[in-house]
Chain A
């Protein structure tokens, strides 16, 4: 009789033991995926890595709890960790978004400035003397300017495709080259206008 009672008690204990927080696990995994989809790995890599590490530690802890005898399992801490992952992922996503917007704004602003600079260089070309004094130099500058314009077109496409970091590299390079052309052109104009 007593044995039967003991077995019954054990059965109660077994069936009422703690269960892994499946919903929280799914939420945390989805949160990390969402952070990656927001390109946190590219725009906020250190934070994204820390987030991923937290999820991995939590998943290990779940297996660790599963290794224990059912009566001694507790998923309280790990549930809290998984919930933290979800909360932190929002911050990581937000920070990545902010950084991405910053890079995008910078790239767009530099593209606008570079486009203005190209117009200025074209204006200077138009104002430059058409005589034999500057013809050769102007031809070379025009060819180089065409390269800068082609690069700016690539920058536009990169921005449209959301690759802001590469766009920023290209627009910075194009700006530097464009500025050197502007100086070169101003020099040519100054030389040809020099009083004799």
Chain B
């Protein structure tokens, strides 16, 4: 009896000592793998892979529990080991993918932030100050706000938030630039004509050995040539709606065309220090006005008159009713250089749009 008990005890001890042990190394590796995957935000950047890894881990734990409920002598942890290994592999892949996506997202967003930032700066420099039609400025302002928000989210590493705002900012600024560029491209179709007018005016100056005035509206410059050579140039301010020629009374646009000085106004004859009255509207202006009224493009409200080059400028903004304003010092100089009959050619621009803003 005693012998039987001893044998039984030894047999039991032997079985316990040599019973299967759970694969702790594989389990710990799986657990570390999952922990690292969570650290690198695999749930966010590689969600499907992470779900697979989590599912495998859950299956492993269920299997472990199932085996633990069995008698110690019959437990088998092979399936648990396989599942733990699978978990670790899937977690590693999820981490790898998350890191890759995060890196490329970070670098992609960084580049996109730069691109959108450049577009916003480009608009700011080249278009924001222009009297644009439509929603270009509003879209630009909205884009800038979204861009600034994106920058904040980027700095705190919330790349998903960056993406959302940046996409909207990119669309808005692209739309603004495209709208502004389209508007200017239409306007610059007259560039060859403007250049021809300027060339003809300079040639006249050379032939007659006389002074001429050329106003480049886009450059906001007023040039004085004599004998075909540039003698002086001044800063010029225009009407607020200076892009496009003058069409009718009160449109606050500065006309474009070939004119001449019809009257020199001294200090007591004008409220703008000194002035050179020009013959706006000329025949071309009148024809255009009549055509526009006839085809209904504009109402019959008068073509306007009293366009001058005058003083009181230097405000740094376009504020006149369509005249060209110089500082009083510059007006003094110009006034001395010209006389009644001096040609005054006003053009949209002498430089192409590409020369001006790179597009």
Contact = CB atoms under 8 A, between A and B. Distances in A.
Contacts of A69: 16, 19, 72
Interface string B147-159: 1110111001010
Contacts of A60: 27-28, 31
A3 B137 contact: no
A174 B145 contact: yes
Nearest to A178: B145
B1 A1 contact: yes
Contacts of A191: 315-317
Contacts of B156: 165, 169
B35 interface: yes
Interface in A126-153: 132-137, 140, 143-144, 147-148, 151
B227 interface: no
A64 B24 contact: yes
Interface in B314-329: 314-321, 328
Contact of A143 (B8, B61, B138, B149): B138
Contact of B65 (A57, A63, A166, A170): A63
Contact of B75 (A49, A56, A67): A67
A66 B75 CA distance: 12
A173 interface: yes
Nearest to B135: A143
A57 B314 CA distance: 75
B27 A143 contact: no
A165 B145 contact: no
Interface in A78-106: none
A43 to B, nearest CB: 11
Given A60-B27, A143-B141, A147-B142, A188 B64 contact: no
A137 B316 CA distance: 12
Contact of A194 (B5, B67, B314): B314
B244 interface: no
Nearest to A168: B152
Contacts of A29: none
A52 interface: yes
Contacts of A26: none
A6 interface: yes
Nearest to A143: B138
B141 A177 contact: yes
A196 interface: yes
Interface residues of B, number: 56
A12 interface: no
A145 B303 CA distance: 36
A41 to B, nearest CB: 10
A23 interface: no
Contacts of A173: 145-149, 151-152
B144 A135 contact: no
Nearest to B162: A169
A192 interface: yes
B321 A63 contact: no
A33 interface: no
B38 interface: yes
A134 B75 CA distance: 87
Given A147-B138, A147-B142, A177-B141, A64 B31 contact: no
Residue among B65, B67, B145 with the highest chain A CB neighbour number at 10 A = B145
A36 to B, nearest CB: 13
Contact of A169 (B22, B61, B152, B317): B152
A176 interface: yes
B74 interface: no
Contacts of A1: 1
A133 B145 contact: no
Contacts of A53: 35
Given A57-B31, A63-B64, A169-B152, A133 B315 contact: yes
The 7 closest A-B pairs by CB, nearest first: A173-B148, A169-B152, A66-B68, A136-B240, A173-B149, A133-B319, A191-B316
Interface of B: 1-2, 4-5, 8-9, 16, 19, 21-22, 24, 27-28, 31, 34-35, 38-39, 61, 64-65, 67-68, 72, 75, 77, 131, 137-138, 141-142, 144-149, 151-153, 156, 158, 161, 240, 252, 273, 312, 314-321, 328
21 contacts: A3-B1, A3-B8, A6-B9, A49-B35, A49-B38, A56-B31, A60-B27, A63-B61, A63-B68, A64-B22, A67-B64, A67-B67, A132-B319, A133-B317, A133-B319, A134-B319, A144-B141, A148-B145, A173-B145, A173-B151, A192-B317
Given A3-B4, A67-B68, A132-B320, 8 more contacts: A2-B1, A6-B8, A53-B35, A66-B65, A132-B240, A177-B144, A188-B317, A194-B314
